[in-house]
Structure formats: structure tokens, C-alpha cells
């Protein structure tokens, strides 16, 4: 699939990094000893998946194959399956490659509200632009609510995107209460009969309690205007983020009730493995991945491809 | 910052200070230390060699036979941490009559533009005349962002229309403009780029070649995981970095990147960003950071902040008033605003040795937010008349109710504040009469009691039920101290 070839090429570096380590490791006929497991553990740690998840993978290898001669295929199957299982979770999220909107929980009636949040500089505004582009191309009528009234020129940034995409944007003066922008956005969407409202928020560190409360308020206010909203609350996560991603996911979930993750900046050498740890600990699924700076560089997440691209042998 | 790494390390090292040490349990302990480091995003190889180093030194006879082997090991860990992160050089050389050019680079979203503003603020404070250059023509509205920041800081910004120029041209023109305006530092805000994006990296090298910056600084997000080392390496290979600025250290990141980047690339960390406001840039001190990581507090930074922000005259004035017992609620309000200028109560507590864990414990208990309490107290005092502030004794029930309504609080809270203030001013008089040694002792006693969960003083649940959301830290501790003192006084009388 064209979509995935792009993802794969983005992850190629990752794969190369991991593969060189690992291919040397698991040679058929050799004995899988502690030194090899240790080296493999190192490889997993470099993906940022965290000590716990990588130990789980290593432990299952140790149990199954430890001290025996290596059958590379079987070892690979085992690793991939463990990771895929973690990423797929309880199976409630659907990633249908034919329908790029499948993981999104759409409203049965009226506009669907998607709240987007995350820490500073992860790529929220860019991800929103990509998502808006995605939705517009799928024939949806999109309204953007420029809720980042804090950072200098953030509203301008989103406005420029909206012009490029050709969708509507609701904006207010810098310093306005972001909840009121969100409300106005929902209001406007209802009036013009839009399908989707994307609510941008200012970047905030998850430890800033007052700002996290502000996020909670935005969510409440949205719910006041449109019942059942926000239908989706997406956390944008920087693929370079390390174990702090777990703290981000848990605290943003408390405030914004995250229903999914957009893993941005996967086009670098970072592996974004922390989503494995997050899925394991909190069950929040990845829904989309960002693989570049262009508008169409947003892709549907696929657990199989993610793991394959991460560990694929050839 | 660094809480979790601190927590885990403290646990691991705590085992060393208890019980008998042998080579075996040192190795077990170091395995724990390694896990803590990995969970903190320290690079795998760095963590491994760190632990190997410490183990090698720790299992030596000299350590095990020494009087306090556990403390020796903690000492070794401290030294290794400092070695790992240091040494640093904070200077940005500005020669007279010459323009210093500082080039900022980094991945997207690391915080380059904001850091440019912070750096400009700092340099301006030091007497330089900086100019910001908007060389980020990539991200929509990046130029606007820098212009807004320049306005906030009061520093000129050089910019050109994104469509009609190239970053190299912008920088060159900016250099000329800066000369004309008489600026002596040029700060280039380059676009965020991936270290594997060849064309953009080439562009950066081009700027580097054309302008020959005196300093090439990498801006690095402290929350970065294992990849931090990769990108730092790539940028260093392209530009020969002079330093790293670590941003977003005010979150709960474990900051392993800080430990790895220096170790792997040899590029020192120069500054750290600790907040969104434009004055939240601090020089990086490996010793202080190591102390913070080991949970030993960072009094040096606290004192520095205090000196920078507090009004010395006013402080002296207040101390005099305390001595004379004339400290009023008004003075209390002033003192509180001064302290608040230094940062949030929570961030201050973390700098005081031993208090970091307390700040954490308070955070863990929902609703215990010292900063919120300070706000409430300020609201209450602001709702009092001048007379009431001077003579809190005159506040009767009806006045109390009025104050509560005016400040949006509960009459009981107002009552508590008054009670605490009364206790506090008495205690202050006593403290003011003590010499420095006695004061330190009193503070230490207070601390050990505070950290002891069985002590009567801080059984927090009980406290809360008694008086709800009120100033927890300052007031409560002082009140407790006063109680102790009274007790002692009573004993003495007997």
C-alpha cells in the first residue's frame, strides 16, 4: 500500500538501527544466552518502549527459547506477536485501511467534535491541519477552532493552514479564554451544518495544574454546546518523547479524557516506542501517525505495520 | 523536575545506607540504579558505563572498610553524575567592538523561538544589545511569533517576507542591519529540522559557513527519549556545537537526556529552560543538578533567585518589624508577594533539601496545592480593611463573615488564618532573637518531624479536616514550630 510504504520508509532508519543489532544476534543454530538477551534488551530500550515492556518481551523470549539453539523465525514471531498484542489492546479500536476515518468515533447526528491537546511543541497545530486536510478530502465539512490563544502567532499559524486547506476557522483575539473559542467553534459548526469541529489548544506541560484545569473546562464547555462532545479527544505525542510520554498520557487523560493518540514526527530517527508502554499501561490507542511536514503526511496507524516496520527482517 | 529519577535513585541508594554492604548487594543495588536511569531515558550505553564505573569504585576495599560505606557510595554516584554532566562554560564571549553571533538550531518543537527570546532577555540583563533574526522561513507564522517575542522583550527583530528570501540571505542582511543599529549580539532563530533531512542540514551548514557564528547552540527538549543522543550527534557533526540548551525542564521529565547528551557528544549543556515566561532561563550547573537528582536540594539556586528578585531593603525592613513584634498582616502580604516573585511555592520547596519529597507528597494528596493556598490567603488579606490588617484582634464575627464573603472563602478559613498569623508572629519574634545556628537547628528539627509520617505535626488528613484548604506549608510549619517552642518553654519552667 502506498500509505504504508511511506510509513515504512519513515521507519526505515529505525528498522536499520534495530535490525543490525538484532540480525547479528539471532543467528540460526547459536545458543540464545544471557549476553544475547541483554543485547536484545538494549535494542528494545533504544526504541523508547520502556523498561517494563522490553523486559516483558525479553522475558517471554527467555522462557520460550532461553538456553536453546536459536530459530530466528520463531524468535521473530514471538517478539512481533507480543508487541502487536500490546498495541492492539482489547480490539475495540478499528484501523481499516480502506476507511481512513475508521478509528474516529463520529457523532451519529450533528457535528463531531475533536479536541486536540498535548505538551508544547509536539506538533498539535500541524497535526490539526493535517487532520483537517484529511477530513476535507474525505468530503467532510470542517471547522477549525483556534483555541491556542496563548502562544505568540499560533492563531496566525492555524489561519494560514485553513487558507491552504480551504476550511473555515473560528478565531478570537490573543489572550481570549480558549473555552470561549471552542464554544464559538462548536456554535458556528452547528449553524452552518459542518461535519467536524477540530479544537486546537495551547501546548501545556502536564504538570501545570491550572492549565490542565483550563483544558478540563474547555472539554466541559464543548459538552455544553454539543451533547456527547467531544467525541474524540486526541493527544498529540512527539515520537522523540521518552518515558515522559507515559506521564503525559496519564495526566492529559485525566483532564481531557483522551481517546486516542496522534504520534507526530515519526519521520526522524526516533521510534516512538513509548506508545507501546502507554497502550500497555493506560490502554490509549494510537490512531494516526505524522510522518512529515507536508499536509498529506498524516497516516492511519496500523499496529501490524508499525511492528513490522519496526522489527522487519528484510 | 527530575522527581522520578530522584525517587528511584533514592530508593536504590537507600538500600546502600542500610544494613551491611557486600560486593553482592552492591551489584544488586547498582542493577536497580541502572533500571532507574533507563526509566529516566538515559541512553542505554551511558547508563551501563555509569553503573560499571560506580561499581568498580564501590567494591574496592577502601570503600567497604570505611566507616560509612553507604554514604561513600552515594558520594561516588554524586561525583560520577557531576563528571557525566560537567564541566560547563556559561560564557557567551562578547568582545568589545565585535558582534557576537549566536546560532540556535534544533528539531521542530524543541522550543527554539521561545529560547531565543529568553536568551535575548538574559543578554540584555547583562548589558548586551541583542538583535533577534527570524531565519525560520519554514513554519507558518514563525516570523510573527519571534516578532511578538521581540516586542515583549524589547529587542529589535530582523525579518523578511518568507516568500521572497532565503534563510542565508536573511542572516546576512540581519548582520548588516545589526551593525547599523549598533547591536552587539545577533541571535539567529533557524527553522526546526530533522537531523536526517539532508537538504535542510546543508542549509544550516551554509549559514554556519557564511556567518561564522561564535556560538552554535542546540536547543533540545528535555523530554526526549533515547533519540536525544542521535540528533545531538548529527547536529554536532554538521556544526560543531558549542553548547546545548535543555528546554521544558519544568515539567515532570526525568531528564535523562541531560545525562546522556554531554556524555555521548562531549558538548556541554549551557542553559536550562524552566518555564514559559521569558525570564525562565538558568545557567546549567552539574553540581546542583546532581544534588537535585539525588534529592539533596539546591540551595544555591534558591539563594541566587532570592538575591535577584527580592528587595533587600524591604526584607530588612520586615525583619526589623518582626524583631519589634510589629509585623502586621500587611507586611505578611508583602512578604508573600515577594516570595511568589521567586516562583511557585512548589518549585521553591523542591530546591530546599529534604522538602522536595514533601512537595511531592502534597501533590499526591489531591487538593494540596500550596500555590493555591497562597492565593486564598492573599485574597483574604486583601478583603480586610487597613485597620483590620494592623490589628487582627479586632476582627469579630461580623467582620470575619464580611472578609470571607469578600474573598470568596469560608469564615472558618479566615479564622484559621488569623490564628496562624498570631502564632506565627510570636514565633517570628523568637526566631529573630535567635542566632543563626539555633535557627538552622530549628529548621532541621522541623524538617525531620515533617518527614516522619507518625509525627503529630503533619498528619495531613487530620489537618485538612480541621481547616480545609489553607496555607499549608509556611503557616503550618511555623505554627508547629511555635508549639514546640512553647513546649520547651514549659519544660524549662518546670
Q: Are residues A146 and A284 in the same domain?
A: yes
Average pLDDT over residues A206-229: 89
Q: Are residues B330 and B454 in the same domain?
A: yes
Average pLDDT over residues B174-199: 89
Place A68 in a pLDDT band, splitting at 50, 70 and 90: confident
For residues A142 and A132, the answer to whether their CB atoms sit within 8 Å is: yes
Q: Which of the pair, B138 or B337, is modelled with greater confidence?
A: B138
A278 grid coordinates: 502507554
Range picked from B142-146, B294-298, B486-490 for highest mean pLDDT: B142-146
pLDDT given at position B438: 63
CA distance A217 to A256: 9
- Among the residue ranges A247-251, B182-186, B330-334, the one predicted with the least confidence is B330-334
Residue B295 lies in a domain: no
Residue B456 has pLDDT above 50, yes or no: no
For residues A82 and A57, the answer to whether their CB atoms sit within 8 Å is: yes
Q: Over pLDDT 70: what percentage of chain B?
A: 69
Checking DSSP bridges between strand A232-238 and strand A112-117, what pairing results, if any? parallel
Residue B92 lies in a domain: no
pLDDT given at position B349: 67
Contact A207 B142 (CB under 8 A): no
Q: Are residues A62 and A136 in the same domain?
A: no
Residue B296 lies in a domain: no
Q: Is B140 on the interface with A (CB under 8 A)?
A: yes
First CA to last CA distance, chain A: 17
Q: Which of the pair, B93 or B165, is modelled with greater confidence?
A: B165
Q: What is the DSSP code string of A103-114?
A: TS---SSS-EEE
B residues 148-177 closer than 8 Å to A (CB):
148-149, 152
CA distance A248 to A119: 8
Q: Tell me, what CATH number does B73's domain have?
A: 1.20.120.140
Contact B223 A271 (CB under 8 A): no
CA distance B238 to B256: 24
CA distance A265 to A298: 10
Which residue has 536525544 as its cell numbers? B228
Work out the mean pLDDT of chain A and round it to a whole number.
Answer: 84
Residue B474 has pLDDT above 80, yes or no: no
- Cβ neighbours for B324, distance < 8 A, ≥ 6 positions apart: none
pLDDT given at position B132: 93
Q: Is A121 on the interface with B (CB under 8 A)?
A: yes
A residues 127-146 closer than 8 Å to B (CB):
none
pLDDT given at position B466: 36
Q: What's the domain count of chain B? A: 3
Q: Are residues B62 and B119 in the same domain?
A: no
CA distance A146 to A161: 11
Residue A106 lies in a domain: no
H or E element at residue B31: helix B23-39
Q: What's the domain count of chain A? A: 2
**Among the three residues A88, A123, A145, which one is the final residue of a domain in this structure?**
A88
Q: Are residues A120 and A253 in the same domain?
A: yes
pLDDT in tens, A154-188: 888 899 899 999 898 999 888 889 999 999 999 99
Distance from CA of A241 to the nearest CA of B (A): 4
Average pLDDT over residues B359-363: 60
Q: Tell me, what CATH number does B450's domain have?
A: 1.10.260.30
Is A96 labelled as part of a ligand binding site? no
Residue B459 has pLDDT above 50, yes or no: no
pLDDT in tens, B202-227: 999 999 998 889 899 999 998 888 88
CA distance A266 to A275: 12
Q: Are residues B310 and B285 in the same domain?
A: no
Q: Which strands sit side by side in the sheet containing A142-145, from one edge to the other?
A: A168-170, A142-145, A196-199, A112-117, A232-238, A260-264, A286-290, A298-300
CA distance A153 to B141: 6
Residue B2 has pLDDT above 60, yes or no: no
B355 grid coordinates: 522538602
For residues B260 and B228, the answer to whether their CB atoms sit within 8 Å is: yes
Residue B458 has pLDDT above 50, yes or no: no
CA distance A185 to A127: 18
Residue A102 lies in a domain: no
pLDDT given at position B6: 60
Residue A313 has pLDDT above 50, yes or no: no
Q: Are residues A40 and A84 in the same domain?
A: yes
**Residue B69: phi, psi to the nearest 5?**
-60, -35
Place B389 in a pLDDT band, splitting at 50, 70 and 90: confident
Residue B460 has pLDDT above 60, yes or no: no
Q: Are residues A279 and A150 in the same domain?
A: yes
Average pLDDT over residues B20-38: 79
What are the residues facing A286 on neighbouring strands? Answer: A261
Average pLDDT over residues A98-111: 84
Which residue has 560537567 as its cell numbers? B86
Q: Are residues B378 and B232 in the same domain?
A: no
Average pLDDT over residues B285-306: 67
pLDDT in tens, A122-152: 989 899 999 999 899 888 999 999 988 888 7
Q: Are residues A138 and A229 in the same domain?
A: yes
When scoring A153, A211, A278 by the number of chain B Cβ atoms within 10 A, the one with the most, hence best to mutate, is: A153
Residue A165 lies in a domain: yes
C-alpha pair distances (Å), A305 with each of A26, A97, A220, A308: 22, 11, 36, 5
Residue B155 has pLDDT above 90, yes or no: yes
Structural domain boundaries, residue A43: 1-88
Q: Are residues B153 and B69 in the same domain?
A: no
Residue A100 lies in a domain: no
B362 grid coordinates: 502534597
Q: What is the DSSP code string of A116-180?
A: EE-STTS-HHHHHHHHHHHHHHTT--EEEE----SSTTHHHHHHHHHHHHT-EEE---TTS-HHH
When scoring B145, B225, B233, B237 by the number of chain A Cβ atoms within 10 A, the one with the most, hence best to mutate, is: B225
pLDDT given at position B478: 77
Residue A279 has pLDDT above 50, yes or no: yes
pLDDT in tens, B105-140: 999 888 899 999 999 999 998 888 999 999 988 887
Burial label, B164 (beta-carbon count in 10 A; 0-12, 13-18, 19+):
exposed
Q: Are residues B331 and B436 in the same domain?
A: yes
Place B463 in a pLDDT band, splitting at 50, 70 and 90: very low
Residue B203 lies in a domain: yes
For residues B218 and B245, the answer to whether their CB atoms sit within 8 Å is: yes
Average pLDDT over residues A230-255: 92
Structural domain boundaries, residue B361: 303-493
CA distance B55 to B135: 48
Residue B220 lies in a domain: yes
Q: Are residues B109 and B237 in the same domain?
A: yes
A180 grid coordinates: 470561549
Checking DSSP bridges between strand A286-290 and strand A260-264, what pairing results, if any? parallel
What does pTM read for this prediction?
0.71
Q: Over pLDDT 90: what percentage of chain A?
A: 32
For residues B404 and B414, the answer to whether their CB atoms sit within 8 Å is: yes
Q: Is A14 on the interface with B (CB under 8 A)?
A: no
A61 grid coordinates: 523470549
CA distance B108 to B302: 32
Checking DSSP bridges between strand B185-190 and strand B100-106, what pairing results, if any? parallel
CA distance B348 to B342: 8
When scoring B120, B227, B371 by the number of chain A Cβ atoms within 10 A, the one with the most, hence best to mutate, is: B227
For residues B255 and B246, the answer to whether their CB atoms sit within 8 Å is: yes
Q: Which of the pair, B426 or B46, is modelled with greater confidence?
A: B46
pLDDT given at position B311: 65
A117 grid coordinates: 491537546
Residue A117 lies in a domain: yes
Backbone CA torsion sign across B70, B75, B80, B85: positive
Which residue has 531515558 as its cell numbers? B41
SS3 category, A79: helix
- Helix%, strand%, coil% for chain B, nearest 5: 65, 10, 30
Q: Tell me, what CATH number does A219's domain have?
A: 3.40.50.300
B residues 176-215 closer than 8 Å to A (CB):
194-196
**Among the three residues B289, B313, B335, which one is the final residue of a domain in this structure?**
B289
Q: Tell me, what CATH number does B193's domain have?
A: 3.40.50.300
CA distance B28 to B184: 55
For residues A206 and A252, the answer to whether their CB atoms sit within 8 Å is: yes
pLDDT in tens, A10-39: 555 444 544 445 556 677 777 888 888 888
Residue B416 lies in a domain: yes
pLDDT given at position B454: 45
Amino acid at each position: 500500500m502506498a500509505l504504508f510504504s511511506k510509513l515504512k520508509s519513515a521507519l526505515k532508519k529505525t528498522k536499520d538501527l534495530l535490525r543490525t543489532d538484532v540480525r547479528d544476534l539471532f543467528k540460526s543454530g547459536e545458543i540464545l544466552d544471557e549476553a544475547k538477551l541483554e543485547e536484545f534488551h538494549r535494542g528494545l530500550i533504544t526504541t523508547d518502549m520502556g523498561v517494563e515492556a522490553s523486559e516483558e518481551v525479553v522475558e517471554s523470549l527467555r522462557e520460550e527459547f532461553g538456553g536453546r539453539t536459536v530459530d530466528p523465525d520463531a524468535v521473530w514471531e514471538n517478539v512481533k506477536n507480543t508487541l502487536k498484542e500490546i498495541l492492539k489492546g482489547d480490539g475495540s479500536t478499528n484501523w481499516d485501511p480502506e476507511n481512513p476515518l475508521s478509528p474516529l468515533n463520529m457523532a451519529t447526528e450533528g457535528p463531531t467534535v475533536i479536541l486536540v491537546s498535548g505538551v508544547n511543541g509536539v506538533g498539535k497545530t500541524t497535526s490539526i491541519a493535517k487532520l483537517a486536510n484529511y477530513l476535507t478530502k474525505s468530503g467532510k465539512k470542517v471547522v477549525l477552532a483556534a483555541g491556542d490563544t496563548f502562544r505568540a502567532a499560533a492563531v496566525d499559524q492555524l489561519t494560514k493552514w485553513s487558507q491552504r486547506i480551504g476550511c473555515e476557522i473560528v478565531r478570537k483575539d490573543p489572550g481570549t479564554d480558549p473555552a470561549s473559542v471552542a464554544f464559538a467553534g462548536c456554535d458556528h459548526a452547528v449553524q452552518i451544518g459542518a461535519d467536524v469541529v477540530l479544537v486546537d489548544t495551547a501546548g501545556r506541560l502536564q504538570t501545570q495544574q491550572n492549565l490542565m484545569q483550563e483544558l478540563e473546562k474547555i472539554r466541559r464547555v464543548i459538552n455544553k454546546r454539543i451533547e456527547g462532545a467531544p467525541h474524540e479527544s486526541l493527544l498529540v505525542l512527539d515520537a522523540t518523547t521518552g518515558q515522559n510520554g507515559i506521564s503525559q498520557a496519564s495526566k492529559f487523560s485525566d483532564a481531557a479524557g483522551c481517546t486516542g493518540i496522534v504520534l507526530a514526527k515519526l519521520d526522524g530517527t526516533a521510534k516512538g516506542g513509548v506508545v507501546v508502554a502507554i497502550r500497555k499501561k493506560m490502554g490509549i490507542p494510537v490512531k494516526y501517525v505524522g510522518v512529515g511536514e507536508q499536509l498529506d503526511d498524516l497516516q492511519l496507524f496500523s499496529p501490524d505495520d508499525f511492528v513490522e516496520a519496526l522489527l522487519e527482517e528484510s | 523536575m527530575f522527581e522520578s529519577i530522584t525517587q528511584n535513585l533514592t530508593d536504590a541508594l537507600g538500600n546502600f545506607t542500610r544494613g551491611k554492604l557486600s560486593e553482592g548487594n552492591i551489584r544488586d543495588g547498582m542493577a536497580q540504579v541502572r533500571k532507574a536511569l533507563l526509566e529516566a531515558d538515559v541512553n542505554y550505553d551511558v547508563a551501563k558505563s555509569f553503573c560499571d564505573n560506580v561499581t568498580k569504585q564501590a567494591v574496592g576495599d577502601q570503600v567497604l572498610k570505611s566507616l560509612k560505606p553507604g554514604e561513600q557510595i552515594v558520594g561516588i554516584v554524586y561525583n560520577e553524575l557531576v563528571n557525566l554532566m560537567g564541566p560547563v562554560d556559561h560564557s557567551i564571549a562578547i568582545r568589545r567592538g565585535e558582534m557576537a553571533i549566536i546560532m540556535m538550531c534544533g528539531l521542530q518543537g524543541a522550543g527554539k523561538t521561545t529560547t531565543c527570546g529568553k536568551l535575548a532577555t538574559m543578554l540584555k540583563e547583562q548589558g548586551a544589545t541583542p538583535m533577534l533574526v527570524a531565519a525560520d522561513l519554514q513554519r507558518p507564522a514563525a516570523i510573527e511569533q519571534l516578532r511578538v517575542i521581540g516586542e515583549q522583550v524589547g529587542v529589535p527583530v530582523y525579518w523578511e517576507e518568507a516568500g521572497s528570501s532565503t534563510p542565508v540571505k536573511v542572516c546576512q542582511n540581519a548582520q548588516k542591519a545589526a551593525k547599523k543599529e549598533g547591536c552587539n549580539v545577533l541571535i539567529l532563530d533557524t527553522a526546526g529540522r530533522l537531523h536526517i533531512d539532508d537538504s535542510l542540514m546543508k542549509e544550516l551548514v551554509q549559514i554556519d559557513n557564511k556567518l561564522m557564528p561564535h556560538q552554535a547552540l542546540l536547543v533540545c527538549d528535555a523530554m526526549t527519549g533515547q533519540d536525544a543522543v542521535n540528533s545531538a550527534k548529527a547536529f554536532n557533526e554538521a556544526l560543531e556545537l558549542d553548547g546545548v540548551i535543555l528546554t521544558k525542564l519544568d515539567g515532570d521529565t526525568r531528564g535523562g537526556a541531560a545525562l546522556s547528551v554531554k556524555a555521548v557528544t562531549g558538548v556541554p549543556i549551557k542553559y536550562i529552560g524552566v518555564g514559559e515566561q521569558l525570564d525562565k532561563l538558568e545557567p546549567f550547573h552539574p553540581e546542583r543538578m546532581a544534588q537535585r537528582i539525588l534529592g539533596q536540594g539546591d540551595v544555591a539556586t534558591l539563594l541566587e533567585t532570592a538575591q535577584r528578585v527580592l528587595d533587600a531593603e524591604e526584607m530588612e525592613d520586615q525583619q526589623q518589624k518582626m524583631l519589634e513584634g510589629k509585623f502586621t498582616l500587611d507586611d505578611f502580604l508583602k512578604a508573600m508577594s515577594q516570595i511568589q516573585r521567586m516562583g511557585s511555592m512548589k518549585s521553591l520547596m523542591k530546591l530546599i533539601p529534604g522538602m522536595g519529597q514533601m512537595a511531592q507528597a502534597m501533590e499526591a494528596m489531591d487538593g494540596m496545592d500550596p500555590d493555591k493556598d497562597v492565593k486564598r490567603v492573599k485574597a483574604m488579606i486583601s478583603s480586610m480593611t487597613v485597620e483590620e490588617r494592623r490589628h487582627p484582634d479586632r476582627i469579630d464575627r461580623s467582620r470575619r463573615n464580611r472578609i470571607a464573603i469578600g474573598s470568596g472563602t469560608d469564615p472558618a478559613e479566615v479564622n484559621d488564618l488569623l490564628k496562624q498569623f498570631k502564632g506565627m508572629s510570636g514565633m517570628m519574634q523568637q526566631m529573630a532573637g535567635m542566632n543563626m545556628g539555633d535557627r538552622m537547628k530549628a529548621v532541621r528539627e522541623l524538617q525531620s518531624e515533617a518527614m516522619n509520617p507518625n509525627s503529630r505535626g503533619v498528619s495531613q488528613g487530620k489537618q485538612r479536616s480541621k481547616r480545609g484548604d489553607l496555607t499549608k506549608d509556611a503557616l503550618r510549619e511555623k505554627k508547629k514550630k511555635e508549639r514546640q517552642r512553647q513546649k520547651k518553654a514549659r519544660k524549662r519552667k518546670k
